[in-house]
Amino acid sequence: MKLLRTLPTRRLLALAGATLAAAIGAAVIAVVALGGRGPTPPPKALDQALHDAFAAPEPAGITARVTFTNHLFPSGAILGQTGSALMSGASGRLWMTADGRGRLELQSEAGDAQIVWNGNELSVYDASSNTVYRATLPDKATTPGTDSTDQPPTLDQISTWLAKLSEHAALSDAVPDNVAGQPAYTVTISPKHDGGLLGSAELAWDAAEGVPLRAAIYAQGSSTPVLALTATDISYGPVASSDVDVAPPASAKVVDLGGPSTGQGGSYTPSTSGVDAVQAAVSFPLVAPDSLVGLPRQTVQLLDSGDSKGALIVYGHGLGAVLVVERPADASSGKSQLDVLPKVSIDGVTGHELATQLGTVIEFERAGVSFVLAGSLPPPAAEAAARAIG
């Protein structure tokens, strides 16, 4: 959207860094838990509070103590990582430089987790498994719809963006708050429709510096955050490169998560889409009914990983959509990582299910095809959708 395209690069990186750190650790990022109470800023309209945050001078650097809470996954559901800082939550510290490089270090009884990012790459090191996960970040220069301006959005642009957003989501006022001892504003957003199991999300930022201090994600009907990352103490000033340029142990196993797909020369190329085109590209009978458990089919896209081709089918809209990934059952050797999850019967076929407060993932095989179904819906609804794939 135009609003995001006009954000200052370093402030956008700061916001993206805070969000990505928690998302990689759980697959989604969030920040919650009030800091010590103190002075609060004067009341402001939401658009004015956001404008002032975007227009605030860039800090020379950020150093903070943080807490991370993760109630997303059932205990021990992911590869036996019951004590991992990324799976069960932890406390730690955050460093960010003026040019957008950063490090989030979390400590737990099972060992530390460390998330490091710069303009090109994000890495997540989990000490409990001695594994580092690396992903390439999108290049702003080759991302469609971006421009080179670092000018903050105008008040009119923010007001227009909020008006469009309010058509789909309920927004609170900019509520005066105090987080990490800093006067702050907090806004809460909740979907008006097609929200799946998501109840609301919350973001708090420093009223003077415009820096995110707290973010949270809540499930429907719950007052306790599913995912939370909060600054409990923060200071602003130069940060040494040695605080953010930290490498994982040389003995760590490396998992390359890749990055955005691009064509030759770094330009984005449209993917193959449509039932007929995708069916012609894959080696298995594509299963893509017009609707699934009452949700209309929206898109069918080809997934091409080089050594195998699959399909992504999307049913429904927004956060309430159901995603189905189909691949040849023999496309990967060995056991699936989902095999450690609880078993579920899908019309006589044994599958595996990961149920969380925000959604459900089911994996099963049928007639030589591997299916992974995911959606922000409870297990019975996800199982019904899986059984409907025939």
Q: What is the pLDDT of residues 303-317, one digit of tens each?
A: 886 667 899 999 998
pLDDT at 37: 62
Amino acid making up residue 1: M
Low-confidence winner among 165-169, 233-237, 328-332, 365-369 (lowest mean pLDDT): 328-332
Containing H/E element for 23? Answer: helix 9-26
Q: Is the pLDDT of residue 22 over 70?
A: no
Supply the mean pLDDT for the chain: 83
Decide the pairing of beta strands 309-315 and 295-304: antiparallel
pLDDT at 348: 87
pLDDT at 195: 86
Listed in order, the ranges of the chain carrying CATH 3.30.200 are 270-388
Q: What is the pLDDT of residues 274-283, one digit of tens each?
A: 999 999 999 9
296: phi then psi, degrees, rounded to nearest 5: -70, 145
Residue identified by tokens 């007001």 is 159
pLDDT at 284: 93
Q: Is the pLDDT of residue 199 over 50?
A: yes
Q: Is the pLDDT of residue 139 over 90?
A: no
Q: Are 2 and 161 in contact (CB under 8 A)?
A: yes
Q: Is the pLDDT of residue 298 over 60?
A: yes
Q: How many CA atoms lie within 13 A of 383 on its CB side?
A: 17
Burial class (CB in 10 A: 0-12, 13-18, 19+), 281: middle
Please name the residues in contact with 45: beta carbons below 8 A apart, sequence gap of 6 or more.
Answer: 173, 174
| Candidate CATH numbers 2.50.20.10, 3.40.640.10, 3.40.50.920, 3.20.20.70; the one for domain 2-256 | 2.50.20.10
Confidence of residue 71 (pLDDT cuts 50, 70, 90): confident
Size of the chain in residues:
390
Q: Give me 63's structure tokens.
A: 């150093």
Greatest CA separation found in the chain?
63
Burial class (CB in 10 A: 0-12, 13-18, 19+), 265: exposed
Q: Is the pLDDT of residue 31 over 80?
A: no
Please name the residues in contact with 209: beta carbons below 8 A apart, sequence gap of 6 or more.
Answer: 56, 59, 182, 236
> For 81-101, what is the mean pLDDT?
82
C-beta atoms surrounding 337 within 10 Å:
11
Q: What is the pLDDT of residues 206-243, one digit of tens each?
A: 999 999 999 999 999 999 999 999 999 999 999 999 99
pLDDT at 364: 93
> For 78-88, what is the mean pLDDT?
62
Confidence of residue 70 (pLDDT cuts 50, 70, 90): confident
Q: Is the pLDDT of residue 331 over 70?
A: no
CA distance 298 to 314: 6
Q: What is the pLDDT of residues 115-131, one digit of tens each?
A: 999 988 999 998 888 89
Listed in order, the ranges of the chain carrying CATH 2.50.20.10 are 2-256
Low-confidence winner among 178-192, 231-245, 337-351, 362-376 (lowest mean pLDDT): 337-351
CA distance 33 to 227: 11
Q: Give me 259's structure tokens.
A: 């990055």
> For 11-23, what is the mean pLDDT?
43
CA distance 251 to 130: 8
Return the closest-CA partner of residue 197 out of 374, 352, 389.
374
> For 356-384, what is the mean pLDDT?
93
pLDDT at 20: 42
Q: What is the pLDDT of residues 43-67, one digit of tens each?
A: 999 999 999 999 999 999 999 999 9
The topology under which CATH files domain 270-388 is Phosphorylase Kinase; domain 1 (3.30.200)
